[in-house]
Amino acid sequence: MDTIILGTGGLGRAAAAALTARGDAVRLVGRPDSGRHDPASLGRADMIVEASRGHAVRSNIEAGLAAGCRKFVIGTTDWAADRAAVDAMLVAEGAAAVVASNFSAGVVLFGRLVEAATRLFGAVPEFDPYIVEWHRRTKTDRPSGTARDLAARMLAIHPRKTRLSDGTGGQPAPEELEVLAVRAGANPGSHLVGFDAPGETLEIRLSSRDRSAYASGIVAAADWLSKQPRTPGIHPFDPEVVDELLAAATLPKPAG
């Protein structure tokens, strides 16, 4: 499979290594000086993996479509404002994309575990939930896309929490879910969800050692798109791709 990866950061390099290791022809493309990719310079590819920055997603997908690509995997975060426009472009061109804030299958299953814990502890008023996430100092968005996804799962279930704390300081309102973002060092990603009561605390944590799990999920998403024609538009990694992986009882192996 001929694949273009837009973005030369850690995620893009990890995806390139995973796809190259299994025999794909991969081109790793950085951001042009003009700020917009020229479709003619991209050339046609079987697949485009978007791994750049949130503000570039819309124009990158537009360029990929103009270059003739009809399959995309979007692993970039912080582009929610453009999601509807990107979906509309894909539908109009008969193209499909798999999208996730985090392509780790472990993160997806962690999210389902968090939902189950929220149902249990949400029934007990004394337990107050919270989220703490820690990423490398250079990560720009906060909270992370994964933390926002975890928060959305919790807010959809919890009987008393209805919105995120705005983080402006002071005591959060009873209906606010506290989410703390730490940006320090080189941590590739750590997410902790806790439930605290006066006499005890329960915490569940997922820590990434490197980006190999993210890259493996991107490979799985690319294979899912290539296996058969998919309905045009955006497809979520969870549940569509992950449920198929679980049904086959084979989670993607870490790259490398």
Q: Extract the tokens encoding 52.
A: 């750049």
Amino acid at 210: D
pLDDT at 248: 86
Strand-strand pairing, 25-29 and 71-74: unpaired
| Whole-number Å distance between alpha carbons of 109 and 256 | 22
Instruction: State how far the alpha carbon of 144 is from the alpha carbons of 28, 147, 222, in Å.
Output: 24, 5, 23
Q: In the chain, which segments carry CATH 3.30.360.10?
A: 105-207
Q: Following DSSP, what letter does each residue of 84-100 receive, concatenated? A: HHHHHHHHHTT-EEEE-
Q: Which residues are catalytic?
A: 135, 139
pLDDT at 56: 95
pLDDT at 179: 96
pLDDT at 81: 96
pLDDT at 182: 97
Closest CA to 222 of 255, 190, 249: 255
Contact predicate 29/42, CB 8 Å: yes
pLDDT at 250: 67
Classify domain 2-103+211-247 at the CATH topology level. Rossmann fold (3.40.50)
Q: In the chain, which segments carry CATH 3.40.50.720?
A: 2-103+211-247
121: Cα separation from own chain's centroid: 26
pLDDT 10s digits, 44-59:
899 999 999 999 999 9
Contact predicate 132/192, CB 8 Å: yes
pLDDT at 256: 62
Contact predicate 25/2, CB 8 Å: yes
Which residues of the chain are under the pLDDT cut of 70? 250, 255-256
CATH superfamily of 105-207: Dihydrodipicolinate Reductase; domain 2 (3.30.360.10)
